[in-house]
Amino acid sequence: MLPVTAGMMLGNPSRALSTSVLHRGGLTVRSGAKTGVVTAIQRFGSNLALNVHLHMLVPDGAYTFEHDRPRFHRIPAPSHEHLQQLLDALIARITRTLVRAGALIEDPLAGEAAQPYLDLEPDSPLAELTAAALRYRIVLGPLAGRKTMTSHHPMMAMDRPPSKPFTVARDGFSLNAALACEPHQRDQLERVCRYLLRPAIAAPARSKLRPRAKRPPRR
């Protein structure tokens, strides 16, 4: 089994998203058109359990260059059908990479419709912890088997519709492109960048709490 590195996994979505932007703008790499992707790897979910996913900042267009002068070509928002096709392509590419690395096992007798699976040893403590993290379950202690707690900020609580706009999901994969910033929305862009890079636990920006060093006891 080869080690699955971040570089192996980042190449698939980065290339797919860049190609998608160029094609929707009627541009090609051979013509000199360029775009880019800024990616932050997140390894936790809202309940701090293992949930590896990517936050990606993608321009809604691409640049071409004429006489060393850049020209930006803005593209329209993607349709639901386009997002579904993009997700299908991403799933196929990521699955192939994981199968080649040995992280996923294919069943040759199950046919083309079968999905690869994780080959976890049931008697391995590490495998038990990994499987529990994937299923958001507690594996040790008196609460073993129960679902882990999910933290919610009271200001973020809201009734959400069953299907989100600009969001597609299949087989445990999801792709969300519902957030966009106009050039003049610098504050919103900053909030998006902060969200991309957010740590697992962070104090509010305006918190009155300040770290204090303990004073040595008086003699």
pLDDT in tens, 44-91: 776 666 777 888 899 999 999 988 899 999 999 899 999 999 999 988
pLDDT at 99: 80
In a domain, 77, yes or no: yes
pLDDT in tens, 16-51: 889 899 999 999 888 889 998 888 888 777 666 677
pLDDT in tens, 92-113: 888 888 888 777 776 655 555 5
Question: 163 or 217, which is more confident?
Answer: 163
Could you tell me the two tokens for 152? 């919610």
Do residues 61 and 181 make contact, with C-beta atoms less than 8 angstroms apart? no
Total domain count, the chain: 1
In a domain, 157, yes or no: no
**Distance between CA 176 and CA 31 in Å, rounded?**
29
pLDDT at 86: 92
The end-to-end CA distance of the chain, in Å, is 62
Q: Using pLDDT thresholds of 50, 70 and 90, give the confidence band for residue 6.
A: low
Could you tell me the two tokens for 197? 């890079």
Q: In one letter, which amino acid is 32? A: G
Q: Is 177 helix (H, G, I), strand (E, B) or coil?
A: coil
**Distance between CA 193 and CA 195 in Å, rounded?**
5
Domain span including residue 78: 6-148+168-196
| 207-212: average pLDDT | 48
Q: What percent of the chain has pLDDT over 70?
A: 63
**Distance between CA 84 and CA 173 in Å, rounded?**
11
pLDDT surpassing 60 at residue 208: no
Residues whose CB is less than 8 angstroms from the CB of residue 122 and which lie 6 or more positions away in sequence, other chains included: 128
In a domain, 188, yes or no: yes
Residue 216 phi/psi, 5-degree rounding, is -65, 145
Which helix (H) or strand (E) segment is 41 a member of? strand 38-44
pLDDT surpassing 50 at residue 9: yes
Burial class (CB in 10 A: 0-12, 13-18, 19+), 62: buried
Question: 28 or 10, which is more confident?
Answer: 28
Q: Is 127 helix (H, G, I), strand (E, B) or coil?
A: helix
In a domain, 1, yes or no: no
Could you tell me the two tokens for 131? 């499987």
The predicted model scores a pTM of 0.65
Question: 7 or 197, which is more confident?
Answer: 197
Q: Which residues pair with 70 in a beta bridge?
A: 65
Calculate the alpha carbon distances from 197 to 40, 41, 48, 129 in Å: 6, 8, 15, 26
In a domain, 95, yes or no: yes
pLDDT in tens, 119-177: 555 566 766 776 676 666 777 777 776 666 554 444 444 444 446 789 999 887 889 89
| 190-211: average pLDDT | 70
